[in-house]
Amino acid sequence: MNAKTKILIVDDEPINRDFFDVMLSKLGFQVNKAEDGEEALEKLKNDRPDLIILDNIMPKMSGWKLTKILKTSDDYGEFSDIPIIMFSAMDDVKDKIEGFELGVEDYITKPFNFSEVLARIRAVLRSRELSRQVVQKERKIASIESLNQSLIYFTQHLKEPVESLQKRVETLDVNSKKEIQDFVEAVQVETKQVLVTLHSLEDEIRDLQKRPELQEDADADLLEDLEKRFQRHFSSWKENQEVPEVSS
C-alpha cells in the first residue's frame, strides 16, 4: 500500500494500539493513535487520516457516538467521508446493522485475526479510491459539459450579429454618408457585445483549467490546447475586422 496512507487507531487498550501501530507501520502505513473518542476528534483536526480503525466500547466517548458525530455533525462535516472500520466484542446482528446505518464501512468482532483485518483495510481503501475516482470523473464531465454549453452559447450569440452585418454590407450604398455612418455605429455596437462574450468565454476556460479535477489529467492538456486555438482564432478575428471610414 501507499506509504503515505494514514490510519488512526482509536482504542482504550494500549496493547491493541501498540499492536496495530507496529504491524501497520511495518507494512508502510502512517499510524496515529488515540485512546478514546475525545482524543480522536482532536487528532482528526491536526492530521486527517485516510481510515479510522475504531473500538466500540471506550470510556468518555464510545465508538458509536464518535461515528455519529463524524457522520452527522456539521462541525465535523469535512471528515464525514473518512471510512471507518469498527471493532466490537459484541457479535450482535442488531449492533452491526446499527453500525452500518451510521455509516461504518466494515464491522469486525473481537477477537480478530490480523490477516483478515489487513485484508479488510485494503478492501475499504480500494473502495474509497474507486469512489474518489468516480466523483472526480463526474466533476470532469460536468466541467467539460459546462464548457460545451458556453461554446454553444458563444456560437449562437456570435452568428446572428455577424450574419446581420454581412447582409447590411451586401446592400450598403457606399456613396451614402448616412448609411455608412449607421453601419459603422452598428459594427461598433455588435463588436462590443461580441468582445464581452469572447472575454467571458476566455475567463471560463481559464477557470476550468484551475479546477483540481483537471490538473492531473489529459483533460487539462485538452483545455490548454482549446485555449490556444481560441486565442489564435480570436486574434485573427480582431485583426480582420474592417470598419469603413466615413469621409468628411
Q: For 92-140, how does the pLDDT look when each residue is reduced to its tens digit (9 = 90+)?
A: 666 667 767 777 888 887 777 788 888 888 888 887 776 666 666 667 7
Amino acid identity, position 248: S
Write out the three cell numbers for 129.
479510491
How many separate domains does the chain show?
Answer: 2
Q: Are residues 91 and 152 in the same domain?
A: no
Cis peptide preceding 14, ω within 30 of 0:
no
195 phi, psi to nearest 5 deg: -65, -40
- The answer to whether position 248 is within a domain reads no
> Model confidence at 212, in pLDDT bands (50, 70, 90)?
low
Q: Is residue 12 domain-shared with residue 81, that is, in the same domain?
A: yes
Eight-class DSSP state of 245: P
Q: Using 50, 70 and 90 to split pLDDT, how confident is the model at 218?
A: very low
pLDDT at 2 over 50: no
21 Cβ contact list (under 8 Å, min separation 6): 9, 31, 33
Query: Can you give the pLDDT at residue 246?
Result: 44
- Could you list the residue range(s) of the whole structural domain that residue 174 is in? 135-239
Judgement on whether residues 51 and 20 belong to the same structural domain of the protein? yes
Same domain, 57 and 144: no
Cell numbers linked to 105: 464501512
pLDDT > 70 in the chain, percent: 72
The predicted-structure confidence for 138-161, as pLDDT tens digits, reads as follows: 677 676 777 777 777 777 777 777
CATH number at residue 36: 3.40.50.2300
Element (H, E) at 55: strand 51-55
Tens digit of pLDDT for each residue in 50-81?
999 998 888 888 888 888 898 888 888 888 88
Q: For the chain, what percentages of helix, strand and coil (3-state, to nearest 5) are there? A: 65, 10, 25
Candidates 169, 60, 172, 53; CA nearest to 104 is: 53
3-state secondary structure of 50: coil
Number of CB atoms found within 10 A of residue 104's CB: 21
Asked whether residue 244 is assigned to any structural domain, the reply reads no
Instruction: Give the global pTM.
Output: 0.54
Residues 21 and 108 in one domain: yes
Q: Which cell numbers hold the place of 128?
A: 474509497
Q: Please tell me the predicted confidence (pLDDT) of residue 33.
A: 93
